[in-house]
Chains A and B, each alone.
Chain A
Amino acid sequence: MKILVIEDEIELMLVVQLFLEKEHFIVETAKDYYSGLDKIANYSYDCILLDIMLPGASGMKLLTELRKMGKDDSVIIISAKDSVDDKVEGLELGADDYLAKPFHLAELLARVKSVIRRKNQQGEQVITYKNVCLFPDKRKVMIGSLEVYLNRKEYDLFYHFMVRPERLVEKTSLAEAIWGDDIDQADNLDFIYSQIKNLRKKLKESKAEVDFQAVYGVGYKLV
């Protein structure tokens, strides 16, 4: 899962980044309004942590821009201003949550997981599709009653498909979600194919009822 941290206090940004990376998130960062705008315009994120006071322009404006682009990325506003007006404005503009500074990293993590759960998993702790169960909190995959061990990339890939079963997942968005924003500079995304092939093999060995269906040149579907 990919998270964007837009925060101008470098120290705080690095702490959050390190912490979330330890929790197996892919973390992208932006330090001001314009680099934040570049990020949200060009990529999608499972969750955006947005500071309100940014050099360049306000985080609220960024939120407005994001919704104007028709993107539904979850947004948690992080702000030193703990006023009701701000919270109301942020939530009305389409933020999913509001966290006042200073905050505990544990609380941040819980809220991030919560908004992702709401967005990707319809609030469920377990994602189930056919005979496969995925436990995002434990990063565990069960097929029938057997646990399948997936490496980090395989798990992330599989999660990405499990939260949108039967929907077409494009190669580009897949690469971005799992390898991070920089991968879009790669001119050849064929390497995803080998990852899918490995995953497919593991699923087949565990007698999973799910499989990947390729849409030639575009991407894959989990069916």
Chain B
Amino acid sequence: MRVSLKNYTLRHLSISFLLIIAVWAVLFYAYILEEVYDNVDDGLKNQKIEILREVYRNLNTLNINEYGVNQFRIISAEGDVSFSEDNNFSREFFYMPYDDEEEPYRVLRTGFYDPEGVPYHLEIRTSTVEEDDLMLDLSTALIVLYLVLVLSLYLINEFVLRKAWGPFNVIIDNLNLYRFGKKEQLAPINTNVIEFQTLYNEIVDMWRRNEEVFNEQKLFIENASHELQTPLAVTINKLELLMEDLSLNEGQLTAIAEAKSSLMRLVGLNKSLLMLSRISNRQYSEVLSVNLNQIVHETFITYQSMIEYKEVEFQLNDKGSFVITMNPDLAEVLFANLLRNAIKYTEKGGKIIVDITDDCLRVLNSSNGSALDTEKVFNRFHKGEQDNQSNGLGLAIVKSIVDLYPFLHIMYSYTGGKHIFALRYVKS
């Protein structure tokens, strides 16, 4: 079972306190009783001396053979073989009218000889501590102490520790909100606790190192893509020049055209990678208020010929005006990729519907295929089954654009034989 550190310490400290207090109570009780009897016994011995002195002064004292106000009695011990002058202490119960019950007394039994050498038993008693009451009082006191301790612990945990652990929660939040490549600073902590300060510093260091590595990686992709561009352009250009050679026959031309088309795919891949890298490098930071309706209309014009050729019915429903603040170039790329995707996977004579409302853009296309894998559809290099032309980056680009803006959300679904991509504005 998982518990918070607060409850964990509280639970263990409560149990430990219970044990410590129980052991301490037993020892304390024994010690107190020992001390009490010791005192009482000293008092009794002192009384014995006083009594003996009185007996030697006043022989009438020998006649006191009942406990009365004096709390002692003297009994003749003539002929008693058990006579001894030793002090014998015992604990006995006598009836006490005040409490109307038997109460514990400490009794000193001893013996002495009177001035004439006659042996006598002397019994002195004194009311002593009521052990059961003591135990009860002690227990009550200890239970109260224990409850106060646990309550204090709880309160200290609740208020003091909560304050002390505040920075730790900030650190946890920092880690929680942290995403690779985000240039934001970590929220600072304010604490005197060395451990938290160390933890924070270590995390900041780690974060910096990660960012550096990540940036290097991203720059590497970008630089590699840039460096590939020129040789690709040169090669394609040379092939184009070659194709203008009138002496080539159709077979040779086709071979060159195929080589060029493969190179063009490489160019496309390169461009997509560059695009992805630029998006994640935040190079499209400039934002404007963008009207998606307008972008949809403009993009449609670009692809109109393709749509018409495929005999696809294109239906555009402007049910509202979807205006968002984002980079206008990215907005174009975003919709163009969605539309291209729809055109590609719509069967000949199928239908593409684009619905625009105030906060949602939906691209629906009919298809012969089945539902795509919702989990993987936006992954890089994820391709449909019968797909050898695409580089599998179109929707990954869409996703990375959407991820740039926290208020945008995109979802894929498949209903009624239609693939649906819904881009939504979400209020945070």
Choose one: B229, B234, B237, B264; the contact of A184 (CB below 8 Å): B264
B247 within 8 A of A: no
Bound: A187/B345 CA distance, A = 11
Nearest neighbor of A194 in chain B, beta-carbon distance:
B309
Choose one: B271, B308, B390, B394; the contact of A38 (CB below 8 Å): B271
**Stretch from A68-76, A104-112, A139-147 contacting the other chain:** A68-76
Choose one: A37, A186, A215; the contact of B306 (CB below 8 Å): A186
B226, A34: Cβ atoms closer than 8 Å: yes
A187 in contact with B389 given A41-B233, A179-B302, A182-B336 (CB within 8 Å): yes
Q: By the criterion of a CB under 8 Å from any partner CB, how many residues of chain A are at the interface?
A: 38
Question: CB within 8 Å of B: which of A13-61?
Answer: 34, 37-38, 40-42
Choose one: A41, A172, A188, A216; the contact of B261 (CB below 8 Å): A172
**Stretch from B134-142, B191-199, B250-258, B371-379 contacting the other chain:** B250-258
Bound: A37/B309 CA distance, A = 32
A69, B336: Cβ atoms closer than 8 Å: no
A69, B254: Cβ atoms closer than 8 Å: no
B209 within 8 A of A: no
A217, B240: Cβ atoms closer than 8 Å: no
B268, A191: Cβ atoms closer than 8 Å: no
B170 within 8 A of A: no
A130 within 8 A of B: no
Question: CB within 8 Å of B: which of A185-200?
Answer: 185-188, 190-195
Q: Which residues of A contact B238 (CB under 8 A)?
A: 70
B232 within 8 A of A: yes
Choose one: B254, B271, B310; the contact of A218 (CB below 8 Å): B254
A70, B237: Cβ atoms closer than 8 Å: yes
Q: Which residues of B contact A41 (CB under 8 A)?
A: 229-230, 232-233
A42, B303: Cβ atoms closer than 8 Å: no
A167 within 8 A of B: yes
B344 within 8 A of A: yes
Main secondary structure of the interface of B (DSSP, over half): helix
Choose one: A68, A172, A187, A195; the contact of B230 (CB below 8 Å): A68
Main secondary structure of the interface of A (DSSP, over half): helix
Choose one: A65, A182, A218; the contact of B302 (CB below 8 Å): A182
Chain B interface bracket (under 10, 10 to 19, 20 to 34, 35 or more): 35 or more
How near does chain B come to A194, taking the closest CB pair, in angstroms? Answer: 5
B310, A172: Cβ atoms closer than 8 Å: no
- B223-253, CB under 8 A of A: which get 1 and which 0? 0001001101110011011011010001001
Choose one: B232, B237, B302, B389; the contact of A71 (CB below 8 Å): B237
How near does chain A come to B37, taking the closest CB pair, in angstroms? Answer: 98
Q: Which residues of A contact B254 (CB under 8 A)?
A: 215-218
Bound: A38/B278 CA distance, A = 12
Q: Which residues of A contact B153 (CB under 8 A)?
A: none
Nearest neighbor of B261 in chain A, beta-carbon distance:
A172
Q: Which residues of B contact A186 (CB under 8 A)?
A: 303, 306, 340, 343
Q: Which residues of A contact B261 (CB under 8 A)?
A: 172
Nearest neighbor of B270 in chain A, beta-carbon distance:
A42
Bound: A65/B229 CA distance, A = 11
Bound: A168/B240 CA distance, A = 10
Most chain B CB neighbours (cut-off 10 Å) among A194, A217, A218: A218
Bound: A37/B359 CA distance, A = 36
Nearest neighbor of A164 in chain B, beta-carbon distance:
B244
B186 within 8 A of A: no
How near does chain A come to B397, taking the closest CB pair, in angstroms? Answer: 10
Bound: A65/B267 CA distance, A = 17
A218, B253: Cβ atoms closer than 8 Å: yes
B253, A179: Cβ atoms closer than 8 Å: no
Q: Which residues of B contact A217 (CB under 8 A)?
A: 254, 257-258
B82 within 8 A of A: no
Bound: A192/B310 CA distance, A = 11
Nearest neighbor of B222 in chain A, beta-carbon distance:
A34
A219 within 8 A of B: yes
B274, A69: Cβ atoms closer than 8 Å: no
How near does chain B come to A151, taking the closest CB pair, in angstroms? Answer: 11
B250, A215: Cβ atoms closer than 8 Å: yes
How near does chain A come to B331, taking the closest CB pair, in angstroms? Answer: 14
A42 in contact with B271 given A69-B233, A217-B257 (CB within 8 Å): yes
Bound: A70/B232 CA distance, A = 12
- B207-222, CB under 8 A of A: which get 1 and which 0? 0000000000000000
Question: CB within 8 Å of A: which of B288-342?
Answer: 302-303, 305-306, 308-310, 336-337, 340
27 example contacts (A-B, Cβ-Cβ < 8 A) are as follows A38-B229, A42-B267, A42-B271, A65-B230, A68-B230, A69-B233, A69-B237, A71-B233, A153-B305, A170-B260, A172-B260, A172-B261, A173-B240, A179-B305, A180-B302, A183-B302, A183-B306, A184-B268, A185-B268, A185-B336, A186-B340, A188-B306, A191-B306, A191-B309, A194-B305, A194-B309, A215-B254
Add 12 more A-B contacts to A170-B243, A217-B257 (CB < 8 A).
Answer: A38-B271, A41-B230, A69-B233, A70-B234, A153-B305, A167-B244, A172-B260, A173-B240, A187-B344, A188-B306, A188-B310, A188-B389
